[in-house]
Amino acid sequence: MDVLIIGNGGREHAITWKVAQSPEVNTVFCAPGNPGICEIAQSVDILPEDINGLCQFAKDKNIGLTIVGPETPLVDGIVDLFQENNLTIFGPRKMAAELEGSKVFSKNFMRKHGIPTAKFRVFDDFQSAARYVEFIAVPVVIKANGLAKGKGAIICKTNEEAISTLKSLMQDKIFGSAGEKVIVEEFLEGQEVSVLSITDGKSILVLETAQDYKAAYDQNKGPNTGGMGAYSPTTILTDKLYREIEKQVLVPTIHAMKREGRPFKGLLYTGLMVNLHEPKVNVLEYNVRFGDPETQPLMMRLKSDIVPLMLASINGTIGNCNIEWDPRPSVCVVAASNGYPEKYETDKEISGIDKVKEMDDVILFQAGTKKNNGKIATNGGRVLNITSIGDDIESARSKAYKAIEQVSFDGIFWRNDIAADL
């Protein structure tokens, strides 16, 4: 079959890299792709938001499977559109995608169904929210209701900072309409873990765990980003905690969505805060697609063919599937543009990519890149995802950091503590 992958980031490069290995796949198309993806797939000049254009392309090319990378097309209803046109597509329908599309919906959903999560209040006007945060205990977390490319959750350490954040979201509209409603949430202590599952709306196939690093700078300092690195598997989840996550979070989520008439098929990403002292877990967020950059180390470790797993999700047979993993850990380090996640420059020529290609146990997944006069240049905040695999965490991270030192562009920076001190 021919496969269409939607998106142009590091996550999509990793998915394309894995899908292209499948014996079931002939040609891989990627819309719109990036220079790295174009080495293994055919680029399609259609943006992810153009769901009608993508649907027409899939019909014209008789695409056997479409895989959606970013969240926006899912929230906009691309799966509904494709299914109405008898096209096979991996992902949740619009009503199920609201788990990510609206944080207010997801928080109310968790409260209604007894899924453990932080205490919260919802506000739709600035004055009421500002009065509330003026005297409450800090730190608190303030979240934009809508999509904000992974940057919509802001930890506020003072009451003044909370008020300033509310102003940025609700009045200055730094995330546009996403900030028309906000959630003020208690701050939870612990470590964040990402648990990704493939589900057909009835059964759940839990993938290996991963942990990403949201803050821009070392020691978890600076503003939140879309993710500055990740590793898999995590070192903090015991078998007991893993079972608790399945029992208290994953199974109730899938069953409750079905009861609400929003059956969830596709990839469910659950962001969890794990408190090892209790021990207990709380859901921080749901995403309805593969995480970025967690997908990169997961694809490095996945030994099974991913295409049959996606088809089983669509066909309702995921309960019959098994999955095989490389036991070795994988580490991903993100090379970013100076100024990210705020204002940054693009069009900076990148050197050293060919050197990384010659290294063993390392894959360079391109994210924010483009071709400029025949050369590869920066085209985003997160530019390159250096992903390695090794016999242990230290071996994997050593390979990743040796590789990232081979690449260069004006303004490059990265965190030096990904998967350190585990």
Sole residue written with tokens 């019959």:
320
What topology is assigned to 3-90 in CATH? Rossmann fold (3.40.50)
> How does pLDDT run along the chain (422 residues), one tens digit per residue?
999 999 999 999 999 999 999 999 999 999 999 999 999 999 999 999 999 999 999 999 999 999 999 999 999 999 999 999 999 999 999 999 999 999 999 999 999 999 999 999 999 999 999 999 998 999 999 999 998 877 788 999 999 999 999 999 999 999 999 999 999 999 998 888 999 999 999 999 999 999 999 999 999 999 889 999 999 999 888 888 888 899 999 999 999 999 999 999 999 999 999 987 776 789 999 999 999 999 999 999 999 999 999 999 999 999 999 999 999 999 999 999 999 999 999 999 999 999 999 999 999 999 999 999 889 999 999 999 999 999 999 999 999 999 999 999 999 999 999 999 77
Q: Which of 357, 348, 359 is nearest to 408 (CA)?
A: 348
Helix spans in 194-250 (H) = 239-245
CATH 3.40.50.970 corresponds to the domain 330-413: no
Q: Which of 144, 148, 7 is nearest to 70 (CA)?
A: 7
Please report the pLDDT score of residue 291 as a whole number.
Answer: 94
Give the dihedral of Cα atoms 116, 118, 122, 123; nearest 10 deg. -170
Sole residue written with tokens 């303030």:
142
Check the CA dihedral 173-177-178-179 and report its sign. positive
Domain 119-186 sits in CATH at 3.30.1490.20
Helix spans in 61-188 (H) = 71-75, 78-84, 94-101, 103-113, 126-133, 159-166
Q: Supply 290's token pair.
A: 């593969």
Instruction: Count how many residues are written for the chain.
Output: 422
pLDDT (tens digit per residue) in 213-245: 999 999 999 988 999 999 999 988 888 888 889
**394 Cβ contact partners less than 8 Å away, ≥ 6 residues apart:** none
The span from the CA of 41 to the CA of 65, in Å, is 14
Please report the pLDDT score of residue 279 as a whole number.
Answer: 62
Helix (H) / strand (E) containing 334: strand 330-337
Check the CA dihedral 356-151-74-207 and report its sign. positive
**144 Cβ contact partners less than 8 Å away, ≥ 6 residues apart:** 103, 152, 153, 169, 175, 178, 179, 181, 182
The pairing of beta strand 204-212 with beta strand 229-232:
antiparallel
The span from the CA of 284 to the CA of 190, in Å, is 11
**43 Cβ contact partners less than 8 Å away, ≥ 6 residues apart:** 29, 30, 31, 32, 33, 37
Architecture of the domain spanning 191-320? 2-Layer Sandwich (3.30)
Residue 103: C-alpha distances to residues 32, 118, 122, 184 (Å): 28, 13, 10, 11
Check the CA dihedral 233-234-239-245 and report its sign. negative
The span from the CA of 128 to the CA of 133, in Å, is 9
The conformation of residue 392, written as its DSSP 8-state character, comes to: S
Give the three-class secondary structure for 219: helix
pLDDT (tens digit per residue) in 263-281: 999 999 999 999 877 767 8
Single-letter amino acid, residue 49 = E
Domain extent listing, the chain? 3-90, 119-186, 191-320, 330-413
